[in-house]
Structure 1
Amino acid sequence: MDPITLATTAGAALVAAMATDAWHQAREATVDLWRRFRPDRAELVAEDLDELRGDALAAQEAQDTATIEQLAADWQQRLAELLRRRPDLAEDLQAVLDGVLDGSLTDEDRVRVQRQINIARDNGRVFGVMGGNLIYHEGAKPADGASRTTP
């Protein structure tokens, strides 16, 4: 599975696991990934997950799907960044997804994973919207500060 799809699926599964019996196992497996990547941040990730679980449970009880989707998007982004910086952790995240998180995904969640590719070149800007989330990327500025224009 490519890193973006893996992060997207794992983020959705992590938030879905918060309301299941697999939560403690999912939490520990996720924190363990950070222990290998940035041990100094592992406890902060653990605290964030505990706080997020309270938010996810409240949103689920209120049937607030927008909040649940936003919480999942936040973790999808975190996991994507983790894999961007440490591509060698992809196999470990896949193992966590297959062994711990996958059981918390509904069939609907499994088919909801989407992929969108937007590319900004030179001075280009890209605005992507997916699932109500706006993502903005801007190409690199020229080193001399001059703007690039095409006649």
Structure 2
Amino acid sequence: MEAELAELARLAASTVVGAMATAGWESVRRATVELWRRAHPERADTVLAELGEARADVLDARRNGDERAEGELVGEWQGRLRRLLAAHPEMVPELRRLVDELLPMVEEEDPRSGGVRLTANASGRSRVTMAGRDITITKR
């Protein structure tokens, strides 16, 4: 469970930081602060201010092509989100929902994402083979 929380925190942090530089910034800010408002209402205003500072840093990093600075912000928010989930595991479904909502927006607006999204539905005796790049299939 610990590894699952850590991976969710990593994905959420990357998504939230990436979304800070998109047109959906306001909804990102609102949703992220709401997580803290439910878990630690006394920290919500501080998180709100820190999100604003982080957004300014992300925009500056992107303007200057500074991937290291953006990576550091992801690491910072990853730690915060991991601690939040460790203290409040009941928030896992809510954070997953947030990532599911924000990730398509981030991928669409960030030309660097270059992500590949594969979806398949199989039923009966069907077989699905998917790859994000090269694949070799040898039938026996």
Same fold, TM-score > 0.5, yes or no: yes
Distance 2:10 2:94 in 1: 15
List structure 1 runs of 4+ shifted beyond 2 angstroms: 100-103, 105-110
Instruction: Provide TM-score, normalisation by structure 1.
Output: 0.68
Whether the 8 Å contact between 2:37 and 2:43 is mirrored in structure 1 is yes
TM-score of the pair, normalised by structure 2: 0.73
- In the other structure, the counterpart of 1:83 is 85
Deviates more, 1:92-101 or 1:79-88: 92-101
Offset of residue 94 of structure 1: 0.5
Q: Corresponding residue for 1:9? A: 11
1:30 corresponds to: 32
Equivalence for 2:133:
none
Partner amino acid for 1:92?
E
For residues 103 and 54 of structure 1, do their structure 2 counterparts lie closer, same or farther at Cα, with a shift above 3 Å needed? same
1:50-76 CA-partner distances (Å, limit 9, x unpaired): 011111100110000000000010001
**Distance (Å, rounded) in 1 between the aligned partners of 2:21 and 2:8:** 21
Q: How does 1:69-80 map to 2 (within 5 A)?
A: 69-80=71-82
* Structure 1 unmatched ranges of 5 or more: 111-151
Q: Which residue of 1 aligns with 2:41?
A: 39
Identity percentage over the alignment? Answer: 36
Distance in structure 1 (CA, Å) of the matches to 2:46 and 2:75: 19
* Structure holding more helix per residue: 2
